[in-house]
């Protein structure tokens, strides 16, 4: 079926959803795309974290975090510690051979214990001049800390924000780029910076911004290497650590020259220059941290350092981070101290191992979503909802596998979650439109046919309306006519209680109609005394004759159960109800199937010789005894499933040729039984004798059949009467063996 012939909802709604998904993910509306990426990438890091490696073996600078343990807290009190204690720590670190000391928190406040802070408490007047002079000359803890910092490379920080600075920063290094085009357009920018104390900053070998890059969900996944302070590029704390560890005077970032995306764009930061080569960064100059998690060997107890119980030179060449132990941030693996997060970033820089998310990744994800989404819509329109669902499932599995392999093998972050959810949303939208359309069609069909079609047939046509060809087509169908025998006499017996008669007919016919529907039949005509049904229209049914016979057999079982109930009831006049007898005729043959629509309803029926024949067979079925009588074509099409016994060869009104009629007696087990085979042989001889006009032989065979178990006396009475008729009215020599004057 062509795309333009499919209902518009099948492809229009999924296309709209595809456009919405592309917008939401491309514009990161509501931070949805960022959160989805975070969930996926966090899952990757939780499943396969970076293998911890001591950076000392490869860079000469092991990275350590000073653990403010309970023993040191007892000695110096809660954090932050006095500057005198910090000076003692720095001295101890130098003695242990530490190469770089990094203060994660800005040292921008004077020590509360500084003697100069007591000057304001001294009363005015010459009486206290000596006290003021003495306090002024006392050594300051701030100066002591600054003096300690000069003995080892130290990195201190400043905070970028909106607070107006007391003075200008004393930067220790410049931040530049390699390339022809400035890549700092997407770097985070600030107007102000709050610096450490001037003496401390002057004594520091490096100063950098301590700001973290916190995502919208509160997690730290990247560490900035560069910021913009107004129009000037300034380094971060960890960029300064890298510079000092490598003995450089400047920090160099690489510009992608605007060629990083699939379609080009403005220049952004592509990488940072390290001693181990270029290390890829995010476009804003931040580093995607490959977390290794908590490892005890990374930590150094402050109490052991101060008590000098560490092994000599155990911190030789180390980079030691010092920060507040209770300053925690959320990371992909767990809550971590800020100092530990900086230490993880430093390990990434020194090892040259970090996660990568190329500038083209987001564009590639959107392009994949657009292509796969359009593919889903096309499959939906061409092949339907199930094939589109298989296409989506296969695509999701493939994209997820590629995303995982990129992470596990190349440390590349490719967002499969947003893409897959967008693709799933496209399919679900199409499926919802399709289900809604099917529901509407199903309701229309139910209203139009008033339960004339089986539920599964209605469902199939609702899914594919083209299956019902109202314009007309030729089909071979099996037609069943079912009616109550002796209907006129039965109605007359209820003349005094018409309501009871109506209830009785409903109790008899409704279960029979349900049986026909359950066996795939389509109800054609319904009257107070019976109904007709047909198979192999409007849907194909290769076993239509067998299904019609199965329905007839089940209808006989149903009427038997119904009679067991109604025979225990009485009419209004007290007379017990008699069993209701039904007759069924089944015929198979060519017919014209079709219909029309009018007044919101749809009429669908079949017309042909087989429909007339089935009704006529049902009318005369009572004279044969067995309730189910079928035509020869029905018998030929279904004899592998049932036992049939020839009961007549008769010329019916409206038919040029005589027809053979068969009684349906049972299943293949009965057909194979010796008794049935003997009976079938007798019947074959009876009709041979009749065609040979051997009346006496036919009479003898009939009498023998009467004695067999289960024989129908009505059937043999009928044929004996016909033998007598032919004896009195001999047929012509060219007689075909069919009985034409139907006896009543």
What does residue 371 show for φ and ψ, rounded to 5 degrees?
-70, -50
Task: Return the pLDDT at 151.
Answer: 85
CA distance 350 to 243: 10
- Specify which residues 594 forms β-bridges with: 605
Query: Looking at the structure, do residues 111 and 173 belong to the same domain, yes or no?
Result: yes
Domain boundary among 305, 332, 351: 351
Task: Return the pLDDT at 313.
Answer: 82
Highest mean pLDDT among 155-164, 213-222, 667-676 belongs to 213-222
Domain around 411: 3-32+360-442
Query: Looking at the structure, do residues 219 and 331 belong to the same domain, yes or no?
Result: yes
Token couple for 73: 């807290």
Cβ count within 10 A of residue 685:
17
pLDDT at residue 453 above 80?
no
- Helix 237-245 to helix 338-351 angle (10° resolution) is 40
pTM of the predicted model as reported, rounded to 2 decimal places: 0.66
Query: Looking at the structure, do residues 425 and 305 belong to the same domain, yes or no?
Result: no
Cis peptide bond prior to 389, omega within 30° of 0: no
Query: Looking at the structure, do residues 604 and 532 belong to the same domain, yes or no?
Result: yes
Domain assignment present for residue 43? The answer is no
- Specify which residues 597 forms β-bridges with: 602
Sheet strands (E) in 57-133? 63-67, 100-103
Domain assignment present for residue 621? The answer is no
Token couple for 378: 């096309």
pLDDT at residue 726 above 60?
yes
Token couple for 71: 């023993």
Token couple for 699: 């009479």
Token couple for 698: 């036919």
pLDDT at residue 4 above 50?
no
Token couple for 480: 């069943």
Q: Are 352 and 94 in contact (CB under 8 A)?
A: no
CA distance 19 to 50: 37
- Estimate to the nearest angstrom the gap between the alpha carbon of 162 and the chain centroid: 46
Using CA atoms, how far residue 504 sits from 217, 326, 501, 545, 582, in Å, is 71, 85, 5, 30, 13
**CA geometry: angle 40, 44, 45, nearest 5 deg:** 120
Task: Return the pLDDT at 375.
Answer: 94
**Residue-by-residue DSSP string for 677-708:** HHHHHHHHHHHHHHHTT-HHHHHHHHHHHHTS
Using CA atoms, how far residue 685 sits from 273, 696, 704, 705, 733, in Å, is 107, 12, 12, 11, 20
Domain assignment present for residue 627? The answer is no
Task: Return the pLDDT at 669.
Answer: 80
Q: Are 415 and 399 in contact (CB under 8 A)?
A: no
Task: Return the pLDDT at 673.
Answer: 84
**Residue-by-residue DSSP string for 120-161:** GGSPSSGGGHHHHHHHHHSPPHHHHHHHHHTTSEEEEEEEEE
489-545 pLDDT, tens digit per residue, is 888 888 878 888 998 999 999 999 999 999 999 888 889 899 999 999 888 899 999
Query: Looking at the structure, do residues 259 and 386 belong to the same domain, yes or no?
Result: no
pLDDT at residue 561 above 50?
yes
Average pLDDT over residues 640-659: 85
Domain with residue 547: its CATH number is 3.30.70.1230
What does residue 584 show for φ and ψ, rounded to 5 degrees?
-130, 130
Average pLDDT of the chain to the nearest whole number = 87
The total number of structural domains in the chain stands at 3
622-648 pLDDT, tens digit per residue, is 999 888 999 999 999 998 889 999 999
664-698 pLDDT, tens digit per residue, is 988 888 888 888 888 888 889 998 998 889 999 99
Domain boundary among 569, 586, 608: 608
- Specify which residues 161 forms β-bridges with: 192
Highest mean pLDDT among 251-260, 343-352, 716-725 belongs to 343-352
Query: Looking at the structure, do residues 465 and 539 belong to the same domain, yes or no?
Result: yes
Alpha-carbon torsion 454, 456, 462, 468, what sign?
A: negative
Structure confidence at residue 128 as a pLDDT band (50, 70, 90): low
Domain boundary among 592, 608, 624: 608
Query: Looking at the structure, do residues 323 and 274 belong to the same domain, yes or no?
Result: yes
Pairing between β-strand 473-484 and β-strand 530-535 as defined by DSSP bridges: antiparallel
């Amino acid at each position: 079926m062509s795309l333009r012939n499919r209902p518009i909802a099948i492809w229009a709604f999924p296309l709209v959803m595809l456009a919405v998904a592309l917008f939401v993910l491309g514009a990161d509306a509501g931070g949805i795309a960022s959160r989805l990426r975070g969930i996926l990438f966090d899952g990757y890091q939780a499943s396969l974290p970076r293998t911890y490696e001591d950076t000392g073996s490869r860079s000469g600078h092991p990275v350590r975090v000073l653990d403010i343990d309970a023993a040191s807290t007892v000695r110096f009190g809660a954090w932050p510690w006095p500057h005198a204690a910090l000076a003692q720590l720095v001295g101890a670190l130098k003695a242990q051979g530490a190469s770089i000391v990094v203060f994660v928190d800005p040292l921008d406040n004077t020590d509360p214990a500084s003697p100069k802070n007591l000057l304001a408490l001294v009363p005015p007047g010459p009486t206290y001049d000596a006290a003021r002079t003495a306090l002024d000359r006392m050594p300051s803890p701030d100066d002591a800390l600054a003096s300690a910092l000069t003995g080892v490379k130290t990195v201190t920080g400043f905070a970028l924000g909106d607070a107006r600075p007391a003075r200008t920063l004393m930067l220790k290094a410049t931040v530049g780029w390699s390339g022809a085009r400035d890549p700092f357009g997407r770097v985070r920018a600030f107007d102000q910076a709050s610096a450490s104390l001037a003496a401390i900053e002057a004594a520091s070998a490096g100063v950098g911004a301590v700001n973290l890059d916190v995502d919208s969900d509160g997690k730290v996944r990247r560490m900035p290497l560069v910021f913009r302070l107004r129009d000037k590029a300034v380094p971060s704390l960890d960029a300064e650590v890298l510079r000092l560890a490598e003995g450089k005077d400047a920090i160099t970032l690489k510009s992608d020259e605007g060629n990083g995306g699939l379609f080009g764009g403005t220049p952004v930061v592509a990488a940072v220059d390290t001693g181990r080569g270029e290390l890829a960064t995010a476009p804003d100059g931040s580093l995607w941290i490959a977390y290794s998690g908590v490892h005890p060997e990374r930590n150094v107890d402050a109490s052991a350092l101060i008590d000098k119980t560490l092994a000599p030179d155990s911190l030789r060449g180390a980079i030691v981070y010092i920060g507040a132990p209770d300053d925690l941030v959320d990371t992909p693996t767990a809550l971590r101290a800020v100092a530990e997060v900086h230490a993880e970033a430093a390990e990434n820089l020194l090892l040259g191992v970090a996660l990568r998310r190329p500038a083209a990744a987001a564009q590639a994800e959107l392009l994949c979503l657009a292509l796969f989404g359009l593919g889903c819509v096309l499959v939906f329109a061409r092949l339907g909802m199930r094939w589109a669902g298989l296409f989506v499932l296969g695509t999701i599995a493939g994209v997820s596998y590629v995303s995982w392999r990129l992470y596990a093998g190349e440390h590349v972050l490719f967002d499969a979650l947003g893409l897959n959810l967008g693709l799933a949303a496209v399919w679900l939208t199409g499926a919802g439109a399709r289900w809604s359309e099917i529901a509407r069609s199903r309701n229309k069909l139910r209203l139009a046919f008033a339960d004339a079609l089986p539920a599964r047939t209605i469902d199939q046509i609702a899914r594919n309306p083209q299956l019902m060809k109202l314009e007309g087509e030729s089909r071979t169908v099996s037609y069943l006519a079912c009616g109550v025998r002796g209907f006129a006499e039965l109605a007359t017996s209820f003349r005094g209680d018409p309501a009871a008669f109506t209830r009785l007919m409903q109790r008899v016919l409704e279960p029979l109609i349900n049986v026909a529907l359950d066996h795939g039949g389509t109800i054609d005509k319904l009257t107070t005394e019976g109904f007709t049904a047909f198979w192999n229209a409007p849907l194909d049914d290769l076993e239509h004759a067998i299904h019609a016979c199965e329905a007839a057999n089940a209808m006989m079982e149903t009427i038997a159960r119904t009679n067991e109930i109604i025979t225990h009831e009485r009419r209004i006049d007290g007379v017990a109800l008699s069993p209701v007898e039904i007759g069924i005729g089944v015929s198979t043959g060519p017919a014209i199937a079709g219909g029309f629509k009018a007044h919101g309803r749809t009429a669908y029926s079949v017309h042909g010789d087989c429909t007339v024949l089935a009704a006529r067979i049902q009318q005369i079925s009572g004279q044969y005894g067995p309730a189910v009588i079928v035509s020869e074509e029905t018998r030929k099409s279904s004899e592998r499933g049932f036992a049939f016994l020839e009961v007549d060869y008769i010329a019916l009104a409206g038919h040029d040729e005589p027809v053979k009629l068969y009684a349906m007696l049972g299943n293949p087990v009965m057909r194979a039984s010796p008794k049935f085979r003997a009976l079938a042989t007798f019947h074959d001889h009876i009709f041979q004798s009749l065609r040979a006009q051997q009346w006496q032989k036919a009479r003898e065979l009939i009498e023998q059949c009467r004695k067999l178990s289960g024989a129908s006396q009505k059937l043999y009475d009928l044929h004996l009467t016909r033998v007598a008729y032919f004896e009195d009215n001999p047929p012509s020599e060219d007689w075909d063996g069919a009985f034409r004057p139907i006896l009543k």
